[in-house]
A and B are shown apart, each in its own frame.
Chain A
Amino acid sequence: MTPKYLLKRLGQAILTFLVTMTVSFLLYQAMPGGPTEAMRSVILSQSGGSVDIDRLNRMIQLYTNVNPDQPMHVQYFNYASDVILRQDLGTSFFKNEKVTTLIMQRIPWSMFISVYALALGYSLSIFLGVMTAYREKSRFDSTVSSLIIGLNSIPYYIVGVVLIYFLAIQNNYFPTGGRIGSGIAAGYNPEFMLSLVKHAALPAISMGALATSGALAMRGNAIRVLGEDYIRVAQLRGLRETRIATQYLGHNSILPMYTQFMIGIAGVFSSAVIVEEVFAYPGMGLLMFEAVKTQDYPLLMGTLIVFTAISLTAIFIADLTYTLIDPRISVGEE
């Protein structure tokens, strides 16, 4: 572990978070006609009747933490301190609840399918990449490579639609949507667990399809590593094939992919917005979708900030493991 490297990465994550927060503040300001005009109709439709401009601005502040009355820098300062110090992302227009409360309820569900998808997608791309490299130019290689190219040409949400059609509608293997079967009591009972997994499976697979985009790059790396002297020496040393495949070939071909995998985390998490809508899976992504549909700006900005925070945390954790899998990291980064 090199503290310097990790500090640098941590600083970068914090900076990214601040940038996202600032962007969301600026987006409030950049709304057509400014925040007051833009949100007037939405708030009016909520409260009914007409309100004077002061009351409207007060309501906007109540909901969004942005007070249009004040000078810009004061607005920004208040907004930032609410987000950072009080973890207050405002209040939803429509549900009249704190945005943080709403999001917190949804996070576990999104995390569940996202992590599931990442594990599935990444292990599959590593496995297929190594296997196809091992049998380079064989029929297995060309078949799998073509399949991967085909899969990479299908947007993950279409993968989801196709899965629903074949596995949920034509055959009743999986539910078409939702996160839990109706009438099943929550708790540590097998029925509940099974229902949980069954509902999460298809969304996770379609998000996982996104994560397999690294398989071909992995294959390329593995082909390159196969040409390295240490692989030949390992074979001459009479090491077991499984050891060579995992500790030599696998490990060394993952290294150049690591950054790409880490960046991919953000992409897979984001894909939840579309996938959760397709599967009516009530996670954070669906919440964001609902916020768009109802022009619930505080909720919309809140989900953006939380999406960023979660991605950054996940990427940072992945960074911690990078120092474990590549001993040269401290050297390479200097």
Chain B
Amino acid sequence: MSEAHSDSFDLKDLYDEDIDPDPESRADRAKRFLEMNVVAPARIAVDDWRALVGGAILAFFLLMGTVGVWLVERPTSGDAPVLAAPFESLAYPLGTDVFGQPIHAQLIHATPGMFKMIFAGAVVSVGFAALVGVVAGFEHGTRIDSFLMTITDVVITIPGLPLIIVITAIFQPENPYIVGVFLGIDNWPGLARTVRSQVLSIREESYVEASEIMGIPLSSILRRDILSQLMPYVMINGALTSRRIIFESVGLYFLGILPFTTFNWGVMMNLAYEGNALTRPDMLPWMVAPMVCIFLLSFGLVLLSQGLDSLFNVRLRARHAKTSKKKGTSKNNQSQATGGD
């Protein structure tokens, strides 16, 4: 073998090395992503009862919105006797409304729309928050940062509900995804600020500085860490944002501001409330059933966020360490004193 040949062989080798590990590492990355986003949260969820109960409630409603819709027929007027009492017939276990529609079927068929709204709203607000927060954090100290933060501060102080009411009154959205997007509009600034400060604190870590000195670009360091460190905030905020979207969407349907084009818990409440359900015991189930659903779903989300919070929350973790070891106290306090304000 000539030298030249071996050289080219080596080059090819090198070339292959460059190419080959990539798909492999991509698979690794996918595995890591799965581990981080599915396996680890699941394990955590099992460890904390709040996350467990919250997750179970959420799963129940998801089943209701998928399997339930398939099992239970879409209600129409005159399906059953008008204003039947609950717990008397298997055909309408929760009773019926003034149109003779079974209440349980209405609840079930309102669920997919609810989830579409929650999904769209959470994706929009969490996604936008993450985008704004990460960009502002990356560009810390520049004009882009101060511009983004000014916008964030402005949106944070605009009364969100009246704005959303005006927007929905003008555009009359019927598609649940669009309703969700509208509701997500005022939900992002808080998380954006959190994400930004998180990015900043990652930047300040000493190992980041060290890697930078070693010539690894800041962006790739941050990319590696941001996902893992921001995930908790994103998940907790996702749960809380979802709750808020339920509150607001149901509220707007309840007020009758959003058009009544689909089944919705808020629509049921509106019709019942307008029909004076509070003073008519025979109509009460029509009013109470959607209220219970809203409560349960929000309760599940709050529990989930609480459970995730207690497991992820650095402060809490520090506190656990603190109670067991006295030395941690002063150190912890110092870090809080410097980072506190």
Residues of A within 8 A of B (CB): 12-13, 15-16, 19-20, 23-24, 27, 30-32, 38, 149-150, 152-158, 161-162, 164-165, 169, 216, 220, 223-224, 227-229, 255-256, 263, 266-267, 269-271, 273-274, 277-278, 288-289, 292-293, 295, 297, 300-301, 303-304, 307-308, 311-312, 315, 326, 328, 331-332
Q: Report how far A292 CA is from B160 CA in the complex, Å.
A: 16
B166 close to A304 (CB less than 8 A): yes
- A329 CB to closest chain B CB, in angstroms? 8
B340 close to A16 (CB less than 8 A): no
A169 close to B279 (CB less than 8 A): yes
Q: Report how far A12 CA is from B167 CA in the complex, Å.
A: 23
- When A157-B251, A227-B333 are in contact, do A165 and B278 touch as well, CB less than 8 Å? yes
- When A153-B243, A169-B278, A256-B340 are in contact, do A273 and B169 touch as well, CB less than 8 Å? no
Chain B, 159-200, contact with A by CB distance < 8 Å: what is the 0/1 string? Answer: 111110111011100000000000000000010000000000
Q: Report how far A255 CA is from B254 CA in the complex, Å.
A: 36
- B74 in the interface (beta carbon within 8 A): no
A304 close to B163 (CB less than 8 A): yes
Q: Which of chain B's residues 137-160 have a Cβ closer than 8 Å to chain A?
A: 150, 153-154, 156-160
Q: A16-B153, A295-B169 are in contact. List 12 more A-B contacts (CB 8 A).
A: A15-B150, A30-B170, A149-B302, A153-B295, A227-B322, A271-B161, A292-B165, A292-B169, A293-B256, A308-B158, A311-B159, A326-B341
B157 close to A315 (CB less than 8 A): yes
- B118 CB to closest chain A CB, in angstroms? 14
B27 neighbours in A (Cβ, 8 Å):
none
Chain B, 222-251, contact with A by CB distance < 8 Å: what is the 0/1 string? Answer: 000000000000000000000100110011
Q: Report how far A307 CA is from B319 CA in the complex, Å.
A: 41
Q: Report how far A315 CA is from B287 CA in the complex, Å.
A: 36
Q: Which of chain B's residues 244-303 have a Cβ closer than 8 Å to chain A?
A: 246-247, 250-251, 254-257, 269, 273, 278-279, 287, 291, 294-295, 298-299, 301-303
- When A12-B150, A19-B158, A165-B278 are in contact, do A220 and B251 touch as well, CB less than 8 Å? no
Majority secondary structure, A binding face: helix
Q: Report how far A312 CA is from B246 CA in the complex, Å.
A: 26
- B174 CB to closest chain A CB, in angstroms? 13
- B12 in the interface (beta carbon within 8 A): no
- When A153-B298, A155-B294, A311-B157 are in contact, do A23 and B336 touch as well, CB less than 8 Å? no
B157 close to A312 (CB less than 8 A): yes
A155, A288, A315: the one contacting B165 at CB < 8 Å is: A288
- When A27-B167, A161-B291, A228-B333 are in contact, do A263 and B255 touch as well, CB less than 8 Å? no
- B315 in the interface (beta carbon within 8 A): yes
Most interface-central of B158, B257, B316 (chain A CB within 10 A) = B158
- B320 CB to closest chain A CB, in angstroms? 12
Q: Report how far A216 CA is from B306 CA in the complex, Å.
A: 10
- When A149-B306, A153-B302, A161-B291 are in contact, do A270 and B161 touch as well, CB less than 8 Å? yes
- Which residue of B is nearest A12, CB measured? B153
- A225 CB to closest chain B CB, in angstroms? 10
- When A12-B153, A161-B291 are in contact, do A229 and B333 touch as well, CB less than 8 Å? yes
A224 neighbours in B (Cβ, 8 Å):
315, 319, 336
Q: Which of chain B's residues 325-341 have a Cβ closer than 8 Å to chain A?
A: 329-330, 332-333, 336, 340-341
B298 neighbours in A (Cβ, 8 Å):
152-155
A303 neighbours in B (Cβ, 8 Å):
162
A162 neighbours in B (Cβ, 8 Å):
291
- A43 CB to closest chain B CB, in angstroms? 16
B157 close to A13 (CB less than 8 A): yes
Q: Report how far A12 CA is from B336 CA in the complex, Å.
A: 29
- Which residue of A is nearest B169, CB measured? A292
A267 close to B159 (CB less than 8 A): yes
B319 close to A227 (CB less than 8 A): yes
